[in-house]
């Protein structure tokens, strides 16, 4: 075979393989996106809805560029963080767990209403309150991440002030590689946000909550703080929670070895049947993701024994969609004492932490619930 034919054959093979995995990823992620996704128009300020709602205030910190209309944000990358204060009306429902789960699967976050928004600066953030920084995952638009953060705050009855860190994800199922680059691009900005919060010199507690690829961004930010000698900023972080982290196991070990002990062990929320992470693993050379391991796996036992991480296996919880990638939402419902929480084996112990920061709730749940421990 000539060199040219060989190169063409290799190119065809690589292209076919990449297409196969892209289609697989699109199918898996598409399982949870049965209806249309919320567009930029959902960020336009509107009158309060006629149906019952809870008003949630979310601070947004983003390194996305504004769209030409000035209403929304794109996947283009900005050289600086921009801040806004949003007031979002989150629908209040009194449905059964099955009805609520069905609605999540068939009706996306389009029912959320923006009742107010205001451009602010970092100095306008009330740093005296406890803070939850929510870092979204792959394939999220700005508005989707905003409504997801509002939902987390509402469903979890969180005591912290939510800050959404929205990095410039493509918001597309075929944008996985681009999103990894975008998350890397955003790392410095997340570090800057943490540094600025440290400078405020308040006694408020900071929880970092990263989902999926956002968990990778969180851990990379911590690693950057460590290797740059900013121990004081690391110690300012009270708790780190990684939900379905899309991180190669070996890479995660190296990251936590570099970071070292934090104020509390990182909490990893995993599911052994996470379909999205199965596809991510295959795209990454069949390397297992930390978010799909259970606590009994030998590869994480050393980290657990060293009090570096705690693994919470959520596989027994119902999933809000067929990807099994967003079970942390069900855990948040359980923490808040919802009917979904009472219907699981996590019930009683999880419900005793209401009103505490989410990281502390999880710590107390781990202390009281042996089935969560290795």
- Please determine, for residue 18, whether its predicted confidence score (pLDDT) is greater than 50: no
The tokens of 47 are what? 């009158």
Strand 266-270 and strand 131-135: the pairing is unpaired
Do 90 and 150 meet the contact criterion of CB atoms below 8 Å apart?
yes
CA angle 91, 128, 217 (to 5 degrees): 70
Q: Residue 293's pLDDT band (boundaries 50, 70, 90)?
A: confident
Do 160 and 357 meet the contact criterion of CB atoms below 8 Å apart?
yes
Do 192 and 81 meet the contact criterion of CB atoms below 8 Å apart?
yes
Rg of the chain (C-alpha set): 20
φ and ψ at 226, to 5 degrees? -65, -50
| Domain residue limits at 303 | 3-372
Q: Residue 132's pLDDT band (boundaries 50, 70, 90)?
A: very high
Q: What is the reported pLDDT for 59?
A: 98
Q: Residue 101's pLDDT band (boundaries 50, 70, 90)?
A: very low
Order of strands, sheet of 113-120, starting from the edge strand that comes earlier in the sequence: 113-120, 73-91, 53-66, 161-166, 131-135, 206-211, 237-243, 266-270, 309-313
Residue 254's domain is classified under what CATH number? 3.40.50.1820
Of the candidates 309, 315, 312, the one whose C-alpha atom is nearest the C-alpha of residue 275 is 315
Q: Residue 22's pLDDT band (boundaries 50, 70, 90)?
A: very low
CA distance 39 to 41: 5
Do 169 and 211 meet the contact criterion of CB atoms below 8 Å apart?
no
Of the candidates 282, 273, 252, the one whose C-alpha atom is nearest the C-alpha of residue 325 is 273
Please tell me the total count of domains within the chain. Answer: 1
**Could you report the per-residue pLDDT of 309-342, keeping only the tens digit for each?**
888 888 777 777 777 677 777 777 666 654 433 3
Q: What is the reported pLDDT for 320?
A: 73
């Amino acid at each position: 075979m000539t060199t040219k034919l060989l190169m063409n054959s290799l190119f065809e093979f690589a292209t076919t393989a990449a297409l196969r995995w892209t289609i697989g990823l699109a199918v898996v992620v598409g399982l949870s996106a049965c209806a249309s996704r919320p567009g930029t128009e959902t960020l336009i300020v509107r009158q309060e809805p006629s149906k019952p709602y809870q008003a949630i205030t979310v601070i947004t910190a983003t390194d996305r560029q504004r769209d030409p209309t000035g209403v929304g944000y794109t996947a283009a990358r900005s050289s600086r963080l921009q801040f806004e204060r949003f007031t979002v009306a989150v629908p209040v429902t009194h449905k059964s767990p099955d009805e609520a789960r069905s609605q999540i699967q068939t009706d996306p976050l389009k029912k959320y209403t923006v009742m107010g928004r205001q451009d602010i600066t970092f100095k306008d953030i009330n740093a005296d309150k406890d803070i939850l920084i929510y870092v979204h995952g792959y394939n999220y638009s700005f508005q989707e991440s905003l409504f997801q953060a509002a939902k987390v705050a509402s469903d979890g009855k969180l005591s912290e002030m939510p800050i959404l860190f929205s990095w410039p994800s493509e918001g597309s199922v075929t944008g996985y590689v681009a999103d990894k680059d975008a998350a890397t691009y955003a790392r410095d900005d997340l570090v800057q946000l943490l540094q600025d919060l440290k400078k405020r010199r308040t006694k408020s507690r900071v929880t970092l909550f990263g989902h999926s690829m956002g968990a990778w961004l969180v851990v990379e930010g911590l690693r950057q703080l460590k290797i740059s000698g900013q121990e004081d900023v690391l110690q300012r972080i009270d708790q780190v929670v990684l939900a379905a982290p899309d991180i190669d196991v070996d890479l995660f070990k190296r990251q936590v070895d570099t970071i070292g002990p934090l104020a509390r062990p990182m909490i990893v929320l995993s599911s052994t049947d996470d379909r999205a992470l199965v596809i991510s693993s295959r795209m990454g050379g069949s390397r297992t993701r930390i978010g799909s391991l259970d606590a009994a796996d030998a590869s994480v036992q050393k980290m657990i024994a060293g009090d570096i991480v705690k693994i919470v296996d959520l596989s027994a919880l119902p999933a809000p969609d067929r990807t099994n990638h967003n079970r942390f939402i069900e855990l948040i419902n359980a923490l808040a004492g919802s009917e979904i929480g009472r219907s699981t084996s996590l019930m009683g112990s999880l419900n005793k932490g209401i009103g505490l920061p989410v990281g502390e709730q999880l710590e107390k749940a781990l202390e009281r619930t042996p089935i969560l421990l290795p």
